[in-house]
Amino acid sequence: MKKVNPLSEPAFIAEPILTAEQVVKQKFPPTRFREGYSQDEVDDFLDKIVVGLRQWTSENEQLRAQLSGNLSS
C-alpha cells in the first residue's frame, strides 16, 4: 500500500486508500524487550476507525446511488 501524508490536503479518489477490512485484518508484531503500545488501547482505537470507515463507505455508496439516480432522470 502506498504511504500517504496525513497532513496533506484531501484528494478525491474513486477507491478508498484504506478500507475497514484492511484495518480489521491488520496485525502488529509483539514487542519484546522494549516499550510498546497497550494492545487493548490500540485495538479500541482501531475499532473506532473501522466503525468510521464503514459509516463513511455506506454514506458514500448512498450518495453515489442518489447522484446516479438524479443524473439518469
Chain-wide mean pLDDT for the chain? 77
Q: Global pTM?
A: 0.56
Segment 30-46, tens digit of pLDDT:
777 778 888 888 888 88
Q: Tell me which of 16 and 33 has the higher pLDDT.
A: 33
* pLDDT value, residue 6: 52
- What angle (nearest 5°) sits at the alpha carbon of residue 56, between those of residues 37 and 16? 75
- Residue 1 — very low, low, confident or very high, per pLDDT cuts 50/70/90? very low
Alpha-helical runs (H) found in 1-73: 20-25, 39-72
